[in-house]
Amino acid sequence: MADRTFTDEELVAFLDGEEEHAPMSAIRAALKRDPVVQQRLDALRIDTQAVADGFATLLEQNRHAPETPVAPPARGFGVPVMAMAASLALAIGLGAGTYLNHKAQPGWLDYVAAYQALYSTETLAHIQQDAVAQQAELDRVAVAIGKMLTPAELDVLSGAEYKRAQVLNFNDKPLIQLTFLTDDGDPLALCIIRSDKGRSARPELSQMEGMSAAVWGQSGYEYLLIGGQDNAQIERYAEAFSEAEI
């Protein structure tokens, strides 16, 4: 006997115990008398426990968990909570950093710093693009802020490799993020946004989100270089970029 009573959707809802969305008792009754319903149900049956168990292994990957900026020692996390401290440093860095260390209204610098805090070595380590692909990517992001760049201009830091470019947005204003990975595995980002604030061309050093940072301005753009904890390195790189008028 052909069974036209139930849709596949209803049978699935029945299997899932979604009582609101399936005529539960009608299906139960039909199962007793109609083998076709049973066959259709079987054709929709899967081992949902195996699905859940299979995906559970993905939770253990633990790859690319947000980068946890090293909390200044003064914060004094105790040894027993070290494991937690590592993960909470992120939250504290973002929270306290944004609200206490900086001005009340977070600007693009805070936004980028918070974003950078989520980067880990692994975020960038796998990225290997040839010059052609890098140029194509730079051409694409360059449009966002009207600044043309070449991989050769960027890959000039000794001890850090240029990795990739992407467009981010702050308050509907595009900014570009150029990422580098240092030989020590620190992810760095050079972020550029259009701005007429007239910030000095001389890099100004600071600490943001527990990372070393430098900010400067040049012909209608603002720059932020951020990442790692090596102030001298950031200063050196910032000066290199500033002098090259990237």
Selected binder of another protein within 2, 59, 82, 83 (CB under 8 A): 59
Helix then strand count (H, E) for the chain reads: 10, 6
Shortest CB 3 distance to another protein, Å:
15
Selected binder of another protein within 3, 18, 204, 243 (CB under 8 A): 18
Q: Is 57 in the site for another protein (CB under 8 A)?
A: yes
Pick the closest to residue 177 from 119, 233, 125 (CA basis).
119
Q: What is the DSSP letter of 176?
A: E
Cα angle vertex 228, ends 156, 220, to 5°? 55
Q: Is 54 in the site for another protein (CB under 8 A)?
A: yes
In three-state secondary structure terms, 183 is coil
Smaller CB separation from another protein, 127 or 201 = 127
String of contacts with another protein for each residue 62-81, x by CB under 8 A: xxxxx---------------
For 173, list phi and psi in degrees, rounded to 5. Answer: -110, 125
Smaller CB separation from another protein, 166 or 218 = 166
Smaller CB separation from another protein, 65 or 81 = 65
User: Segment contacting another protein (CB under 8 A): 120-128, 185-193, 202-210, 216-224?
Assistant: 120-128
Q: Is 114 in the site for another protein (CB under 8 A)?
A: yes
Smaller CB separation from another protein, 217 or 228 = 228
Helical spans, DSSP H, in the chain: 8-15, 24-33, 35-43, 48-59, 82-96, 108-117, 121-125, 131-145, 151-154, 231-244
Q: Is 172 in the site for another protein (CB under 8 A)?
A: no
Tokens at 20, concatenated: 């609101």
Pick the closest to residue 12 from 51, 45, 61 (CA basis).
45
Describe the crossing of helices 8-15 and 35-43 by its angle, rounded to 10 degrees. Answer: 80
String of contacts with another protein for each residue 149-168, x by CB under 8 A: -----------------x--
Residues within the interface to another protein (CB under 8 A): 7-13, 15-16, 18, 21, 42-66, 87-88, 90-92, 94-95, 99, 104, 111, 114-115, 118-119, 122-123, 126-127, 140, 166
